[in-house]
A and B are shown apart, each in its own frame.
Chain A
């Protein structure tokens, strides 16, 4: 068995059945081995960046390891954005790249780049295979490491000659310490019991730890008012009456108000990032903080915790639920207050009842949320549409919401949707995108067509980079700079060029029929939704400001004052 065959054998052993890749010179031995291997489905994307983002989407939707493959040089460099995206959001991913033959490394050979060196900052760990006999141990270790503790991408760079060299099939690995048992929770319980205004703050760490069920059980049994980060959307469930939704820069007034007023913040699986906290000095000013996370390096990184608990989130959440079962928290006044805030300061965009009125982003997303099946996976891109989805779509599970949180990668949504569809060929997968993001990986329409994936594509087209335009309007004296996209192609014709049917809508009375049409269609379909160029995401906190300083539409500069500024 040569190195290439060994890699496929390791995939089999670890039940890796789907990989996303693009062939090229130095990875050709692996592609040659794939010809004889029928146990691994190789998905050929049309750009290596899309391979990595599709592997990311596959991992987010399924909870399994995502795998992407590329050749040396440009193949590897094209992967980088997708791998960085996975790194920032702690997505388990294995990256395999071919490298120039061992003897040519360091000679500026054709398609040689120092992949190990240029990717150090965007991986959980990485390897340059230096002899064939080390490959089995590296494969074993990499596959485990990517999925253990706080997950992340692990990159293996393999010189072409070693892919062709016979390897000894005796994997041995360095041991990876496993979490065992539940840490002492007595102090946490004491703090929870003495708090009058406790608030649950959860993030993407819940699903990364596969702790969705234990979190839901805890949140429901304690009836704690809850806020979520962008990646934590779906954690509390859409029917939880104490779910105040997303906090932060585009969070709800209710969520940010609750954080401002709470006296205890129970942070679970979240890293207190700046888009969520706003200016740290003004964040949760009255609260003691309990920070529970799998990663010790996140605790006390930005805000000191009064109590830090590191460990397995499943065990900790189950322990808390059990301990609080017999004596519920006495917080009825706080619960009532939070529900009032939710009623008055939650995300409640009214449907436009004027049938001929232009479509607004929030109204469209709320309609989509009502019409789409409960287990629909929404893969967003980055921009205004991403925030409207976060605000107005009612998610019942965090794995139904795929979004690029940490890196904010425009172009994520379409390949992520492809990955999610491969994770479950029977699920409903919708890519909600903007006209800017869509064009960043539009070549993947060919992948959708090739595999006849029933992915639904919704392009919310405001003919500009809306989020940048919005910030230029609000924070740069309305001086628009390089945001105009009014020369976009005809997206309906473009989809049809890829043999994907498409539909255009622009009026409120067309929303429901448009959504129902694409959902009913047996195959991929694109819905082009024309929306106003001037529409903003409300509320918004100015970058660097406190969440208390939220700006809403009533404080939007009037057209007259904008003209004065101009």
Chain B
């Protein structure tokens, strides 16, 4: 199959800060999956009581929908969509 004929899947970079507690990362990852996105890369750093998480995500649904679902999590303090991330895409 010619890869150029496949639709491209938008890619996004999201930076998330959340309180570190049991199952924090599982909670975040589950929301990403159930709302229709795939985690391409993930980097996690501990900063005191918080976790700083950088995610590269791929998915065809509106990223704003995922962002609002992540913001709804009780222990998520901040979700920032990196500027320009919508412009990057890869072949599915």
Contacts and interface: CB of A to CB of B under 8 A. Distances in A.
Contact of B27 (A120, A130, A145): A120
Interface stretch (B1-9, B64-72, B82-90): B64-72
Contacts of A145: 74
B74 A120 contact: no
Interface in B29-83: 30, 34, 62, 64-65, 68-69, 71-75
Contacts of B71: 296-297
A125 B22 contact: no
A179 to B, nearest CB: 15
Nearest to B22: A128
A481 B21 CA distance: 47
Contacts of A117: 23, 26
A116 B30 CA distance: 13
B22 A301 contact: no
A296 B22 CA distance: 26
Contacts of B22: 116, 127-128, 130
A344 interface: no
B68 A296 contact: yes
Contact of A300 (B27, B34, B65): B65
Nearest to B67: A297
B46 to A, nearest CB: 16
A121 interface: yes
Chain B, interface size: which category?
A: 10 to 19
Contact of B72 (A120, A121, A295, A300): A295
Contacts of A299: 68
A214 interface: no
Given A116-B22, A117-B23, A297-B68, A125 B74 contact: yes
B76 to A, nearest CB: 11
Nearest to A304: B62
Contact of A116 (B23, B62, B69, B73): B23
A124 interface: yes
A295 B65 CA distance: 12
Contacts of A300: 62, 64-65
Contacts of B34: 121
Interface string A513-534: 0000000000000000000000
A300 B21 CA distance: 31
Given A125-B74, A127-B22, A297 B69 contact: yes
Contacts of A437: none
Contacts of B75: 125
B30 A297 contact: no
A404 interface: no
A126 interface: yes
A297 B65 CA distance: 7
B16 to A, nearest CB: 15
Nearest to A157: B22
A297 B34 CA distance: 14
Contacts of B64: 300
A174 B49 CA distance: 13
A202 B21 CA distance: 37
A299 B62 CA distance: 13
Contact of A120 (B21, B23, B65): B23
A159 to B, nearest CB: 12
8 contacts: A124-B74, A125-B75, A128-B23, A295-B72, A296-B72, A300-B64, A300-B65, A301-B65
